[in-house]
Amino acid sequence: MKIGILGAGFIGRALATLATNCGHEVMISNSRDPQTLTNTAAAIGCTPGTAEEAAKFGDVVVVAVPFRNIQALPAAALDGKIVIDTCNYYPERDGHIEALDNRTITTSQMMAAALPGAKVVKAFNAILAKDLETDGKPAGTPNRRALPLAGDDQEARRVVSALLDQFGFDPLDTGTLAGSWRFERAKPVYCIALDRAGLAAGLTAATRDGELPHGSWRR
């Protein structure tokens, strides 16, 4: 499979590494000239490109950029693509967004509105980058870490579920984007290592207004 990565921060690089290690063709991009990624791409074993090139390249395209930048994504190039939304809303970084502060919409619903031709699947947002590269285990491993996903397109969810499994995690399909708030920033399962049963229980326990102490998941 061809996978494009939009964003070369910690999450983008970790997913590029996992995908390459699993035999996928990967193109990684950032907001600058692709030449700034030459060494990074060589170390990972992938190809550098512009955001537009990576979007066109991928059968699946990972968006791993600060949430405030989603309006700058190459929307036309992402038409018809499965887009994995790894983004999280941090008001102190992204600025306050009223609809998110009022909890009338989810981050991924906003992503889908910005990319109307794409099949958006929320995934890989509820794990720290360092854990992405170390916590994956083969299928069938007892207490294997589970990660949630959500999307409005069932086939897109199936494809992303398969990638989660390949990358070493038990996928837990939570349904549509409207319910993806259950694993957004500061919810009970956010960046906490849980097996499938623990993840399912944490998702059920989540409330729309309840939040963990900010930053507690980094400890």
Residue 70, pLDDT above cutoff 80: yes
Q: What is the CATH number of domain 66-178?
A: 3.40.50.720
With a cut of 70, say whether residue 133 has pLDDT above it: yes
Q: Using the predicted structure, report yes or no on whether residue 130 has a pLDDT greater than 80.
A: yes
pLDDT for 177-216, tens place per residue?
999 999 999 999 999 999 999 999 999 999 999 888 887 8
**What confidence score (pLDDT) does residue 99 get?**
96
Q: Would you place residue 118 in the very low, low, confident or very high pLDDT band (cuts 50, 70, 90)?
A: very high
For residues 181 and 175, is the Cβ–Cβ distance under 8 A?
no
Give Cα 52 distance to the centre of its chain: 19
Write the pLDDT tens digit of every residue in 15-30: 999 999 999 999 999 9
Q: What is the pLDDT of residue 217?
A: 73
Q: What confidence category does residue 75 fall into, taking pLDDT thresholds of 50, 70 and 90?
A: very high
**Residue 84, pLDDT score:** 98
Distance CA 51, CA 18 (A): 20
3-state secondary structure (DSSP) of residue 179: helix
Q: Residue 127 is which amino acid?
A: I
Domain range summary for the chain, segments of one domain joined by +? 66-178
Mean model confidence pLDDT for the chain = 96
CA distance 120 to 82: 6
Percent of the chain with pLDDT over 90: 94
The DSSP call for residue 213 is P
**Between 31 and 86, where is the model more confident?**
86
The dihedral of CA 99, 132, 13, 217: what is its sign? positive
What percentage of the chain has pLDDT greater than the value 70? 100
Element (H, E) at 45: none
In this prediction, residue 218 carries a pLDDT of 72
* Half-sphere exposure at residue 188, Cβ-oriented, CA atoms within 13 angstroms: 14
Q: What pLDDT, on the 0 to 100 scale, is given for residue 219?
A: 62
pTM value? 0.96
Distances from the Cα of 86 to the Cαs of 48, 126, 195, in angstroms?
A: 20, 8, 20
Whole-number Å distance between alpha carbons of 91 and 97: 7
With cut-offs at 50, 70 and 90, classify the pLDDT of residue 108.
very high
